[in-house]
Every structure is written in C-alpha cells, then in structure tokens.
Amino acid sequence: MEIEMRIKGLVVDPITKMPIVVLEDMRSEHILPIWIGVFEANAIALTLENIPTPRPMTHDLLKNVLNRFDIAVDRIVVTDVRNNTFYAAIHCRCQGQEWVVDSRPSDAIALALRMNSRIYVEEDVVSKSHGLKLDENLETSENLRKWLETLKPEEFGKYKM
C-alpha cells in the first residue's frame, strides 16, 4: 500500500553535515528522513523556494523533455529501503501507456516537484525505516530521530551547505 507524503522540508544532519529531505505522512505526523546529496538537495531547494535559474538545471531539462513529448509523471513512489539505501520509481504515462522508471528518491522528488506530481512511499518502507541504523552510534541515532521529529516548521527551509 502506498502512503501519500509531502515534503516537510530540508535540513542538514548535524552529525554528518549531509542534507536530509524530510517527508511527512499527510494522514499523520510520521516523518521519513532520507539522506541525499548536496546537488539533489539544491535542486529540491530551488523549487521549494521558487528560485529561478538562468538556464535549465538537470531536473528542469528532464521536465522540458517530458513536456515536449507529452509524457506525464503521475506520481513517484519510494519503493524500498535496503542497507540504508532508499529506492524510488517514477510512474509515467503517455498516449494511454504507463511505465515505471527506476530512480533515486532525491531525483524522483526533484522531478515530482517540477511536474506537480504526488509523492508516495510504500508502507513497507515506512515500517522498515523505523528500524534503520542511522549511524554507527545507536544513542546518537535515537537522538537524531527525536530531533527530527520535534522540529518546528520555521526551522525548515533555508540552510547553508
């Protein structure tokens, strides 16, 4: 079963200094943090902050190509998590045909934002992620999880990398 999510925000992991995109279950207050790369975080942040770029960035280029060929992105789905690595799929539609494209969650999310597509996470992934070992130190890991769960909306958004 797929759970619809929205982006709660972007934060920087205080331990690893890596960006985290935080997804929030639209039916509850559960969150799903996904550690991502700096470039992908920048692509997501530009869209969230409505910051135009002088030339198309990679995800903008992909959006332009999809639009040119009348290909819709129905939704993206975070489909699995294995060895602390998340997997995603982009569900596309064109001329009555549907297909699924494998993707990293960060790229799928960046594209979904640009295409105004919905973001989903498989229920299994949400269950599995609660057992993820976020780093080598379980105590620090639990502290980080608590920190993420208690963030206020004004603490999300602009950040330096």
The pLDDT assigned to 118 comes to 98
In whole angstroms, what is the distance from residue 123 CA to residue 42 CA?
Answer: 27
In whole angstroms, what is the distance from residue 40 CA to residue 22 CA?
Answer: 13
Lowest-confidence segment of 15-24, 89-98, 132-141 by average pLDDT: 132-141
* Cβ atoms of 57 and 114 closer than 8 Å: no
**How buried is residue 29: exposed, middle or buried, by Cβ count under 10 Å (0-12/13-18/19+)?**
exposed
User: Looking at the predicted structure, is the pLDDT value of residue 151 above 70?
Assistant: no
Mean of all residue pLDDT scores within the chain: 85
∠ CA 122-128-129, nearest 5°, is 90
In whole angstroms, what is the distance from residue 35 CA to residue 21 CA?
Answer: 6
Query: Class of 2-144 per CATH?
Result: alpha beta
Altogether, the residues listed in the chain come to a count of: 161
The pLDDT assigned to 139 comes to 45
Q: Which two tokens stand for residue 80?
A: 């699995």
pLDDT digits (tens, 9 = 90+) for 63-73: 999 999 999 99
